[in-house]
Amino acid sequence: MCLKHTKDKEKSLEILNDGFFKVFTKIHLYKNTGSFEGWIRRIIYHSIVDYFRANKSKKAFVSPDELIYEAVNERVTDKLAVDDLFSLIHQLPKASQDVFVLFAVEGYKHEEIASTLGISVGTSKWHLSNARRLLKELITRRKERFK
């Protein structure tokens, strides 16, 4: 997951180490709800976000194809900074955001997401569809604002 966002092995190892440090120091906060693996993935995901926030002068750019092309179902030609993409994703409603990240960013299948979040497969698909629609609107508004 770290390599998907950084494309740099050293940076991804740094982020991963930071994430596992957080896992080990916060293990007492795990409440045995949902999967343990999902809880760890969420911490690693937040470590990725934290890394890019802390290193704004070293922004890594990824094309929308890599993270959200599938979600918006159209090609956006501009490249967005990773933290801009995360910012858009964080504007989604919580449940749709969780499903989107698990599906589009982390590569889970709907069955795995449903099991992890304690929802039905159909609900998982609806949240993904909702996230795609909302992201498309957010990206369109952002592009229009910068024309």
Lowest mean pLDDT among 4-8, 12-16, 76-80: 76-80
What DSSP designation does 74 have? S
26 and 65 co-located in one domain:
no
10 and 26 co-located in one domain:
yes
> Which distant-in-sequence residues (6+ apart) come within 8 Å of 103 by Cβ?
109, 110, 113, 124, 128
24 and 87 co-located in one domain:
no
> Each residue of 126-144: pLDDT tens digit?
999 999 999 888 888 877 7
Q: How far apart are CA 60 and CA 105, in angstroms?
A: 16
Per the structure, the complete domain to which residue 94 belongs is given by 59-147
From the list 52, 1, 42, the residue with the least C-alpha distance to 22 is: 42
145 and 117 co-located in one domain:
yes
> Each residue of 36-69: pLDDT tens digit?
887 888 888 888 877 877 776 444 444 444 445 4
pTM of the model as a whole: 0.49
The residue out of 9, 33, 58 marking a domain boundary is: 58
What DSSP designation does 73 have? T
146 and 84 co-located in one domain:
yes
The CA dihedral of 94, 98, 101, 102, to the nearest 10 degrees, is -170
> Each residue of 84-109: pLDDT tens digit?
777 788 899 999 988 888 887 777 88
Q: How far apart are CA 4 and CA 2, in angstroms?
A: 5
